[in-house]
Structure 1
Amino acid sequence: MNFLEKSLNILSRDTISVLEIADYNTTGLKGAKEKVSSPFNNLVKSSGVSNKSDDAGGSFGIGKNAPYTCSTFRTVLYSTLDEENILAVQGVAKLVTHKQDNRDKQGTGFLGITEKDQYEDIINRPFIDAEVMKNLDELFIRKEVGTSLFVMGFEKDDTWKEDIIKATIDFYMMAILEEKLEVLVQDIIINKDTIESIIVKGENTHYREDDFKGMGKIKLYLLLDENLPKKVAYIRSNGMKIIDKGIYVNDIELLIPEKQGTETDLENCKRIYNAMKNLNIQTATEERVWAYLTHNVFWDYMRKRWPVEDANHQESFIKMRYLFSKSMGQALLRNGISRLWW
């Protein structure tokens, strides 16, 4: 059953699964009434764009594609109430380009208000304030300042709850320990007081608590097993993990082509995959990993294999080969390094 058939089948049911991801004690998404760059538009409509500061979590603007991969319909509903008491809701579906009546149609669709701007171009804006109440069920309306993402047709399995808890601890452990973040997954609260009881400590776990050079006590847990990956986490100042450096990528030597072409691709595919074959799917779909490798470790290769100066449309070329400009699956097959692994 293909993607569209599966989606139509699920839509025909009496109920569908919806996952809500909500934040609190935040400012909400500002700028819902603006037509261009704003926190609301950058999250909901832009690709590869972020207006966060460099030390903010997720400042690359690419992680926002993740919720779509969890939706059967590749559809997400954004609902926000900002500090100025502006309520806004917009739905986004990222499907596939197609033809209708011999005309090309784009793959992205919006739920909201369709109207024309001052140039007579059609725009899709969010429902604002009273429009939200008129068009949407109360389930999708924020009552407190903050933002909710509703993943429509949530593709859950028997371990979805445990998977979310593990990912939360993996990527936000420092933020939780520093009391910058508290997460509620159904009935499980993950905070500084509960995280130790949630992390399972096996018989091979070794623990030590000691004073660290007069700067205070530290707790050190070591899990010993010869089959464990050797990894070090790189973490932002806000407590969010950027990347696990468990692969010594500097030891991977790619063949650098003399000119732009495919003659080295097959051999480089083998080298990348053999060196990184133990990547789990979570890390392999993390676009920040490939962005780092593209712009740091394999920069010389990228400049030879994908020379920007030879491109007809340089901006779109950079987004496609050096960053990520399509849906997650397509983007991973177009980025200059991730395509070699995938």
Structure 2
Amino acid sequence: MGKVSKVKQTKAGTSSGSQALPFNTDKGQHILKNPGIVNAIIQKSAIKSTDTVLEVGPGTGNLTVKLLEQAKKVIACEIDPRMIAELNKRVMGTHLHNKLEIRPGDVMKADEWPYFDVSVANLPYQISSPFVFRLLLQRPLPRYAVLMFQKEFADRLTAKPGDKEYSRLSVNVQLLAKVEHLMKVKRTEFRPPPQVDSAVVRIEPKNPPPNICYPEWEGMLRLAFLRKNKTLSSIFHQKQIIELLKQNYEAIAKAQNKKIPADLDMKEHIENTLNESELGGKRARHMSIEDFLKLLLAFNKNGIHFHV
């Protein structure tokens, strides 16, 4: 997606402190100037009075205050000490103060995340993908997350087979969660305006999660999407991929004390597997999650693995 300087719009608003506070646009700090957008995010978040909410990048607290009014508790993770001071100042002496826990530092470097029911956040671009996957691996699973991303990233999250934006990210996230586009937020809704539009997405983890070996799944997808417009047969006929899968085949057979056929032709074995699955002529960009699950099952059944 390239380097885009903007993607995190701070949930700051029009409090008196935020007027004078200089924002660091290098860190993607932009203020939502339209309170209607904040209210719409709150409404779509459907927070319960018993919920603990995780917010990342609260800024000066426009969204945070609204969350505090709805939730039992808000855990706000903020990397900028100036924003922490502003947020503390904003709730100090109010009935909301005891419901707020501020965690300084980089949320992605934390060894463990605290327990939370729902996450509502306006994420920095550079952590969008790792945050989503860590969210989906969080245990216990949150009910859902309502997150604002750069529109291009949001489009990839929600893309369907055949869409231009459909990618490995789309498949990986949609395997683990139901993803729904909620609203578009134009760049003109922020001060200063960022370079790109944003979008709010709802991510609801599947609970229980799919019972598959995730490293296997991820390894297969990496190969399938190497050239997403080429057929699977074309991709899996590449010499380096055949050699990789042969090495995996031999390593796993050895670990399981299984004899490797002396006449093993890995290229032919892969081709036969693709024919059995009836997916050899498919292209990754047109394949559904069910297609990929069927493909992984066919490969594994024939001793072909993508992770050792």
Question: Which bin holds the TM-score, normalised by the shorter protein?
Answer: under 0.3
Instruction: Report the TM-score, using the length of structure 1 for normalisation.
Output: 0.21
Instruction: Report the TM-score, using the length of structure 2 for normalisation.
Output: 0.23
More strand by share: 1
More helix by share: 2
